[in-house]
Chain A
Amino acid sequence: MLKVKIKKQLDNILLDIDFETDDEILGLIGASGSGKSMTLKCIAGIEKPDSGCIMLNNTVLFDSNKRINLRPQDRKIGYLFQNYALFPQMTVKKNIQVSVNKKYNKIESENKVKQIIELLNIKSIENKMPNEISGGQQQRVAVARIIVNEPDFLLLDEPFSALDAFLRWNIAKELKSIIKEINKKAIFVTHSINEVYYLCKNAIVIDKGKEIERNSVNLLIENPKTNIVKTMVKYSDFSRKDIDNL
């Protein structure tokens, strides 16, 4: 269970978000600059809200009244960045090694690395540098890094937008099954209603820092209440049949 109720003044908008989720993957849709990425950064502890509170399961991550503000290192939240943010001076393997949860000793941690490299099928690229592998492979490494860190919750920040259309759905399919396998709840941020349809049951639509619609994805698509969502659906080249067949 993740509870988020935060306010933060940004350059030109006031971010004012309030939601609770226990979904497998909750969708957060909005145009660029709507505040959706900032919301994730606040949850991860990278940015500090002006006020409010954030709770994960029974842990308070942030509470402006009680002056609680856990460091990102202590929040146990995995963050998948849009450009994957792999450490460019480290090999694929080293990227994963440094991310293994610190509770494991050396031998256990080596085993974790081995397991995840096999699970995600990246053995052949383990000695390469991040700039030598494809976008899809980079995402796999980024996911591997998060999994060995064993977070309690995942934040997915437009993870497919750096991939070309051809790859996008394959990678989405892969990510969906991985999330299911590791059994972690997640928030998925995107501007694509198609991706939300594929990955999420429910979604929140954000515009200019505020929630404008919240519903099951099916209802959002069939019966959009706001013009913004109507436009989103209209221009999405929507073929639910194709997505269902993935």
Chain B
Amino acid sequence: MDLYPLYNSLRIALIATVLIFFIGIFAAYYIAKLPGIVKGVLDVILTLPLVLPPTVVGYLLLMLLGPRRPFGTLINELFGIRLVMTWWSGIFASVVVAFPLMYRTARGAFESFDENLAYAGKTLGLSNIYIFWNIRMPYSAKSMMAGIVLAFARALGEYGATSMVAGYTPGKTATISTTVYQLWRTNDEVGAGVWVLINILISAVFLLLINSNEKRRKVKIK
């Protein structure tokens, strides 16, 4: 059995989650500080992928990254890299689709932060970077973890935008979700079923790891 879809799905989801984590927390942190109207507009734009059908996201991504579109052409001319129909195209799709989950969770977490803690840190001479990573983030650790889990799960399960931007090429761009569809479409019910089981297994193990990690933390604090 060819395990390439498993490997490809995992690397896409992992890379996408790391990107989403950093972009998500920084977007949440800086947008929260912006004046009302700008904040409202950016909030809508950044949350849109959550409510749009993934195919619409895929269409928009193709309009931006496609080989005959300005941005796609530019990257191709500068670096000789194609942005669509490669394995890493799935990363773009996953990042955009799963991003709002991290962004919204981080926004909520930052908003519930007791700002006096940051003020206290500043008057005690702690740098803003130290305060961010050692006071603000630990305070919101639980929410951040939830955001990461949701984003990873969503990235792993991403189908619609990925199939449009990366397509389905066995051994190249195939992911678990596109493989399931392809096998089902070609009447390979058993093959599709195997990949369905693998997907369920990964998600369950991932969630179990997170849960046990949380329990350990609680015991440690007690």
**A in complex with B:** yes
Interface of A with B (CB < 8 Å)? Answer: 41, 44-46, 71-73, 75, 77-79, 81, 83, 85-89, 98-99, 101-102, 129, 145-146, 149, 151
> Is B221 touching A129 in the complex (CB atoms < 8 A)?
yes
A85 to B121 alpha-carbon distance, docked (Å): 9
- B135 near A87 with CB under 8 A, answer yes
Do A44 and B119 touch (CB < 8 A)?
A: yes
Which residues of B lie under 8 Å from residue A145 when comparing CB positions? Answer: 124
Known: A81-B116, A85-B114, A85-B116. A44 touches B135 (CB 8 A): no
* In the bound complex, CA of A99 to CA of B135 (Å): 13
A79 and B124 alpha carbons, distance in the complex (Å) = 8
CB distance from B3 to the nearest CB of A (A): 40
Chain B 118-148 against A: per-residue CB contact (8 Å), 1 yes, 0 no? 0111111111001000110011010000000
Chain B hits for A98, CB < 8 A: 124, 126, 130, 134
5 A-B contacts (beta carbon < 8 Å)? A46-B119, A85-B117, A87-B134, A98-B130, A146-B124
A149–B138 Cα distance when bound, in Å, is 23
Among A72, A83, A88, A99, chain B packs the most CB atoms within 10 A around the CB of A72
Sort A-B residue pairs by CB-CB distance and give the 10 closest, nearest first. Answer: A85-B120, A72-B122, A89-B138, A79-B123, A85-B116, A99-B124, A46-B119, A73-B125, A72-B123, A149-B124
- B119, B130, B135, B139 — which one has the most chain A CB atoms within 10 A of its CB? B119
Contacting residues, chain A, for B120 (C-beta < 8 A): 79, 81, 85-87
Contact B122 A73 (CB under 8 A): yes
With a cutoff of 8 Å between Cβ atoms, the chain B residues found around residue A45 in the complex are 122-123
Q: A78 with B117: in contact, given A88-B139, A89-B135 (CB under 8 Å)?
A: no
Number of interface residues of B (CB under 8 A): 19
Q: Which listed residue, B116, B125, B134, touches A149 by the CB 8 Å rule?
A: B125
Known: A101-B125, A149-B125. A81 touches B119 (CB 8 A): yes
A43 to chain B, nearest CB (A): 10
List chain A residues, Cβ under 8 A from B139.
88-89
Give A129 to B116 CA distance when docked, in angstroms: 18
C-alpha spacing A99/B124, complex, angstroms: 6
Contact B125–A102 (Cβ < 8 Å): yes
B117 touches A87 (CB 8 A): yes
Q: Other CB < 8 Å A-B pairs besides A87-B117, A129-B221, 15 of them? A: A41-B119, A45-B122, A46-B122, A46-B123, A73-B122, A73-B125, A78-B123, A81-B119, A83-B116, A85-B116, A85-B117, A88-B117, A88-B139, A145-B124, A146-B124
- Which residues of chain B have C-beta atoms less than 8 A from A77's C-beta? 123
With the chains together, A98 CA to B126 CA distance in Å? 8
Q: Shortest CB–CB separation between residue A200 and chain B, in angstroms?
A: 22
Residues of B contacting A75 with CB < 8 Å? Answer: 123
How does the 8 Å CB contact mask read for B71-89 relative to A, with 1 for contact and 0 for none?
0000000000000000000
Please report the C-alpha to C-alpha distance between residue A75 and residue B125 in the assembled complex, in whole angstroms: 9
Which of B119, B127, B221 is close to A79, meaning CB atoms less than 8 Å apart? Answer: B119
